[in-house]
Structure 1
Amino acid sequence: MQKTFDKFIFLALLISCQSIFAQAPSKQDSIWQRNYQKRIRQSKLYGVYIPQNLGDAHNQLNKLISKESKEKFRRMTEDQVRHKLFFSLGRWIIYNWGFYDGSRLSDRLRKLGIYHPEDMAEFIIITYHRKMLQQPLNAKELIEQMTEKRKKEWEKRHKVTILPKPKAPN
C-alpha cells in the first residue's frame, strides 16, 4: 500500500514539474528581449554615441579624454589602470555605453565571450591602455583571464557548506 502511494506521489510530482518547465517565457522577458534587440541596433542611446566595436571605442576614448589625462593614463601600470579607473572611467563606460540594458557594443563584446558589464568596461580600459603604450592587445588571452576569474568567483559563491542540524534541547 505504501509503495503504491509513493509511486502516486512521485508521478504527481513528475507531472507537475513537467508542466512548470514547459511554460512559455514571461511577458516581461519577451518585452525586455524586444527592447534589447532594438537597443543593439541603435548608434545612439539617450543622445550618447555608442561605439560599434573595440577599435571604435578606443577612438571615442581618444576624443573624450584630454591630453593631460591621457598622459597620466599612459604613465600608469596596467594594475593601476585596472583598479583605479574602474570607478570613474569604467562606470562612465558601463552606463553611457549601455552595458546593463544592452547596446551594439555590449552585444559585440558578448559575442567575444565577455558577459559581465564590469568585465566589458575593464576589457576596454585595459586594451585602450595597451594600445596607447603600443603593446599587443592580446584580447583573446585577456578574455580567457576574465572568464576564469568569473568562474572562480561563481564557484566560491556557490560552494555550499551544509551545517549540522542543531539538536533540540531536552
Structure 2
Amino acid sequence: MYKQLLFLALGLAFSLSLTAQRPPETAQEYDKNYRRRIQQEYIYGVYIPSDLGDAFNQLNQLTDRESVQKFRQADEEMAVRKLHFSLGRWIIHNWGFYEGSRLSHSLKQMGLHHPDDMARFIIRSYHRSLNKKPIGAKEQVEALAEARQAAHLQRLTQGKVLQEERKPGKDSTLQGQ
C-alpha cells in the first residue's frame, strides 16, 4: 500500500511539472506575455497595486499596526537596507516585477527599470509617506539610476580577466615556423 501511494504521489508530481507554463522563448512571446500581465489586476491570485498610492494602501492592509509603527520610527536608510531582503523580495516576487505587472510598468514609466530599484523606491517612499515627508520621486529615481550606473562601471573597471585568448595574426611568430 505504501509503495502504491508513493508511486502515485511521484507520478502526480511529475505530471504537474509537464503541464507547467513554459517561459517565453522569443522576444515576441515575452512582449505578448508582458502586455497581458500589465493589464491584470490579479496575478496568481495576488492583487497587484496600480500605482504607488495603491501600493501604500496594500502595505497598510497587509501589515500589522505594530510593525508599521516600528518601520515608521526607524531611520530611513536603515529601514530600506534592513527590509530589502524581506519586504523588498516579497514585493518583487508577489507584485510581479521580473515578468511585468501593472505596478512594475507604472514604475518603469517613472524611470525605474531594475526590480531591486523598484522595491527600494517603494520601501523608501512608503517610509516617507508614513512620516509625512515629501516622497521626492524624481530625486529618488535619479539617485537609484546613478547608483546602478556607478555599480555597473565599477564592475567593468574592476573586473578580473579569467582567461585571455589570442588568435594568431600576420605578425605571429607561429606563422614563420
Bin of the TM-score, shorter chain as denominator length? 0.7 to 0.9
Do structure 1's residue 91 and structure 2's residue 89 form an aligned pair?
yes
Q: TM-score, normalised by structure 2?
A: 0.75
Alpha-carbon distance, 1:84 to partner: 0.3
Match for 2:146: what amino acid? E
Residue 108 of structure 2 aligns with which residue?
110
Alpha-carbon distance in structure 2 between the residues aligned to 1:79 and 1:148: 17
Query: Of 35, 38, 58, which aligns to 1:37?
Result: 35
User: What does residue range 55-134 of structure 1 map to in structure 2 within 5 Å?
Assistant: 55-134=53-132
Residue 49 of structure 1 aligns with which residue?
47
In structure 2, stretches of 5+ residues that fail to align are 1-23, 165-177
The 1:133/1:34 distance shift into structure 2, 3 A limit, reads same
Match for 1:106: what amino acid? S
Query: Of 153, 156, 165, which aligns to 1:155?
Result: 153
Match for 1:125: what amino acid? I
Residue 14 of structure 1 aligns with which residue?
none
Alignment: residue pair count:
139
Alpha-carbon distance in structure 2 between the residues aligned to 1:27 and 1:115: 21
Alpha-carbon distance in structure 2 between the residues aligned to 1:116 and 1:160: 22
Q: TM-score, normalised by structure 1?
A: 0.78
Do structure 1's residue 146 and structure 2's residue 144 form an aligned pair?
yes
The 1:162/1:134 distance shift into structure 2, 3 A limit, reads closer
Match for 2:125: what amino acid? T
In structure 1, stretches of 5+ residues that fail to align are 1-25, 166-170
Alpha-carbon distance, 1:28 to partner: 1.4
Alpha-carbon distance in structure 1 between the residues aligned to 2:68 and 2:99: 29
The 1:161/1:55 distance shift into structure 2, 3 A limit, reads closer
User: What does residue range 4-43 of structure 1 map to in structure 2 within 5 Å?
Assistant: 28-43=26-41
Give the fraction of aligned pairs with identical amino acids, expressed as a percent.
48
Alpha-carbon distance in structure 2 between the residues aligned to 1:141 and 1:161: 30
Alpha-carbon distance, 1:159 to partner: 2.2
Alpha-carbon distance, 1:55 to partner: 0.6
Runs ≥4 residues deviating over 2 A = 159-163
Match for 2:84: what amino acid? F
Alpha-carbon distance, 1:161 to partner: 7.1
CA deviations on 1:64-109 (whole Å, 9 max, x unpaired) are 1100101110111011111100111100000000000000000110
